[in-house]
Structure 1
């Protein structure tokens, strides 16, 4: 005890104590030396203690910075193995050691009776309690680590959610900007008052609108020549195939090259053997727009809307009837077609489709 009194004046020392509780009551010594060891550890000392008394070991077992080690004893050979097991409180083996040193077995057995089964069970309970406490701490540590991992994942998901929200707000702002730009173009056209200019400005505004991204759906459908199909709102017949992905259909006398993914079957017509008479007659036909009897300004307005509808529906060739008359309407139609940005070209229709009184327009 006097030596312990001098140790408190040092810091960060390596201290070894053998049989720490000898010479005093074990319960009182356990409480006293528990407090002393706590203070020494607090001062930064490294302490190695050997003891046979389980009370002190049980009191120190609740510290995370204390490591328990039990000496292994070979009960058959009745001698120590000088090996250790970490994490548990060992047995004293006092009776086995007494027998090994020659104490009569009758005396050892009598001592066991005096010690009693309850004391032996109490020692086992102390050992088991210490072991369970350490196992519980290890499990708590594992749970804390998992909880920390889950919290990190939760934080990462939260950051990802916030990043997606920021990206969504950015896209919404860009979308609003594009719509505002298109609306301003439309308002600018409306203020102009000219019907033709309004249509042109509206087309320009429509181009500035963001296009909807539609996911194409692959269909396992085959098409053959002669199949009756539907293309948008028009019905027609397949007259030729250009591979698996394209077909030429005839709608109201006009041939249009389209993607097969835009076609739907209405009825399959089986080809029957027949005799065809081929004539060298040039035939061009298309969707019809009849402008007979209209004034020039009225006709150009109707023609502009007709061409826009044809473009939306995917037609690449249409026919416009204007008649011959005085030539004013024919001149107005030609001038309008020359200025239209989506018209690739036009020419007079064949004689059987109107001749000089109609125009075949290529879009």
Structure 2
């Protein structure tokens, strides 16, 4: 990809992004790859790199860690091993084994996840397992780098002999120390090593009392280090055996180095490929830290940034060095809109908006996710030219404007048809009229060649150019006219104002100076600026109203979703309620029959007349029949439907929910049905005209029994209404009611206390909590009274 000038990487902040990624890379080859990370112009390569980054973002965010961390750079070791008969030390050899193991483990890791990470798996397929080399290194070297005794039979024999000699030396030296200690000849009772030989620390005045060779003396001269004659030959043998050990170790390591040399190309390949995987992991970690998204590549020249945040500002915010929020940028250039002219107040965000677009483009074409929304669409450009107007150079005798002219010349010479050109503060650095004319001519030419251009400026002539040119569009950075401060929000389609006079007034510039300045500007230009200001104000008011409408719509949609969810839950629980009601009713019947039989038996025992017994039995049969009939009515029966289309007022069934209700209104295909007190909106085509429901007999949840002993309690219901009663009166009635319910073996009750101020509800709750027979109690579902009723389980 052509990028001009070379300082573009630094100017847009891409160099800072590379440095941030390098801090997250753990291998030297990975750092080297990251150091040269830059945009490419091949759409297929861009798409592949984005896929690799996206898969790694998913992996690092939700999967187990990759099976490697810090790996040494083995390439210098491989270079040393290239020569015949070369030898590597144990530590480099262990580093080579670590990398070989990492390559094997990485390949297994991705092979087991090939369906989730296809691109990364294809990349890891290139890793070459070197299991045999790993095992050979492990056979020769221990994990701490020591050559194992069984690395060769010769080494095993040498070390066995060396152990024997050292034991003999220790035994002989112990005998000498014991005797010399009795004669008080030693400065210390422990032997030490001098020149690789075991010696005794002997007091200087007694050095002639022991036969041997003096190897050294202490700094004070009071101690000499003497090798007794008895251990002289043993020390000589040890030295010779140690030399043989070193020669054998060297031979073993040289053989091992030869085997490494045989796999040198594979090891170098694995090192490079692991570095690439590590670089991709660094990219993914960086992108995840920004909560970035993989943008969609579009083949059309259509730029769309959805809630894009400037990556450099975002990095500062994450580090805590910037406390203001990063304002997202929504910017779009359609296929017809080849150039965007951004105007607005100083420090209002024009340059940041342009740099955000350029930096996001560079990141995307470098295989990086960008901190933007999922609606972002970006094309792939094959060249990028950026002019920030600050390339003055004393050494090259370039002023600011001269550097801009040089940039303009080089851009026109190198520009391709598929180029992105960014210009900051166009027309500055020279006479305004001449500078603007020069940049307008430049823009006309690059647009004709097919380039996409984003320009920031304060010059009104370029605003007019954008308005008049068919392939150009104006854009503005908003300004809060109430607070007299920029909002950093971008708006396309209208030019912006510099708000120089308004900002000047806020900064305390005298009113007379500002008034004179307005006159100097001229009536027509002042009027134009006033119109722009008024247009921005109206636009902000419209956007605020639109935002309120969006909030209201969101609240309405939320209520609709809640209603639909509640309706779905009710439909799903309807069968449960019906079954529970049938079970409770059957339990009541069984309990009543049992109780009645007990009473009949009691009557018999009291010698009641046959007539009274027959009367009681007739009443039992009658009541049982009524309960059974009520049970049948509780069972859901299929609703009879008709072919005739329903009209308002008809009973209808909603086909996709089996709910039945009254059609209360219709507007074309939209119908409203009243179902159990709920208003349901549905498609008219889903309605079937149904048979109106028959009036059901009221089912008493209790039963009636007339006895001569308790006429006052001749009827009992599973529902008690306490509304309108005083507290003490209500609790007294509730106490009698609960006693009767327990005595009659009822399990489910309803206490109606109303909503009101909640005083009666609180008294009922406190009383129910004091009854040990109460298993549980809670406010009834809304369709059974809600907060005005408490459901009790005994």
TM-score (norm 2): 0.18
Bigger strand fraction: 1
Bigger helix fraction: 2
Larger radius of gyration: 1
TM-score (norm 1): 0.34
